[in-house]
Structure 1
């Protein structure tokens, strides 16, 4: 126990503090939107998950990250568990809004996708770090594609286009960082374009097409498929510089803003806390990203560098896409604002990833 408390004195308290402040920011917005919904269940569950997440982060940070790199079977077993968890959704998960994406246990929903994101990052950090001088070999690209491709296919079939696209982009970026040849990268881009063209005609559901169309032309159906992004932009504009005040946002409190606790929590924050609140939120994000980037720069081997790069990219992608959705710059694909949006699975996965980062900082 004394060793653990000594460890706590050595961790990067800047990461712990910044991540905690972002989550508290999210909790305050959840509480406010719960007033309008007259239901504080999500706020209470998120508060509990936050406490669990912080302890999970600190616990993982105490374990030497080299154990993940050196064990030949542990990461593969975690990957297999994730694949079975994703496959089990088709049998065991209830259908919610046409998607089988969550296990329901009492009043709690469990999303295995968030678990799989972190497992893939650690697994690929190990795989690429051992083969970084051989990334010109096509078999390494193909095998890494199998590790990513099976979960991506299962996620796409739920159907969950947003998370499938996120993991696809993450795989390609990790390949680029690991040093694949430019011509291999070009081939991947061409294949991605062909798959998208095929998917639009054959695989995409009508509601997924509607989301892309509403992004391109929201004014075509402002009371239908374009409603969410139109109301999001109105909410952001209502906030002005100082915001309408805690619990006073008209779009948020009167139900005009859809999903103010998940997809559109950024708009809810902008409406009630204004431009100043948004600036504070973005400063916290940039501070956390700077801390991550610094850990990656100071890493002494390829495994921690690749994990930090992958986790930072994952974080940036989710931040960029969520804010872009709220501003009407990107289609709605259901990605949460990291550490802020409601969602216990996402929160725990991100804090677990931060725990690995802290372990890299302390044990390197």
Structure 2
């Protein structure tokens, strides 16, 4: 047997289920991403592979199964004089430059391998770096001199980059960890709400207004009323503000509203040229504030709607209301409650002062 509150509980389960789906997709994407990086991660955890000149000559930077992070000992380090310059610019104007790489030739018996060093100091004979393909522009500069052409057959078609191989991995694992924790926590909370929708914030809030089935029945009736208005992704009824989205379910009681005012934001290009304006209706409760974006006429209609159904609240913006809401919100709530009591007494025909 279904109750009148079943559709609101069903909505809470639906949005919670969708959040579980999103969390599972994020976890699956993280797992797939880490799986695609498996060759790199194996070397990250295993450390550099010690190789000889003969072994190094057989390695291919495009072979995922071959080691890329290697350790070897050079017999001699020769400075090629080739540098990599990084130019810094701001708005197209050069602001400085620095040496970001220096190339050396490491002699390994009768063969050589080009080594890219970072920093100011020259590398020692113990080399640890990543095997990469020899850049074409660097090779052209290295063998530009006729005398250097004689040495070209002795150079391996490789580059040993002495950068920190694990830097990428730390960033990768850190980002993956953050995503897993965020998605896992988000998914667990959503799973709990799906299994027990009573703990969903919206359901818990609605339960404070009365029996859930009674609140839902009233809301259902209001949603069918002709004066119901949609604005900024929300549905405005006589006494409630509802938002139903794929991932969100929000419900607020307009009878608990303290203050409502339209808001106009003027946009300018380069702080000078007018570029139109945006309109919104700002609704403020004691513990929440919601901005409903919409066209000017929609905002005006929504403001008039609230002024008609909740005439006891503070309407319109002024600096005094802003200060009161920011510094003495409890006092504002008491003042609004008194306004509501006076309005209800007037509607019931009770003489002023008799309601005390």
TM-score, normalized by length of structure 2?
A: 0.20
More strand by share: 2
TM-score, normalized by length of structure 1?
A: 0.19
More helix by share: 1
Highest CA radius of gyration, 1 or 2?
Answer: 2
Larger RCO (alpha carbons 8 Å, 6+ apart): 1
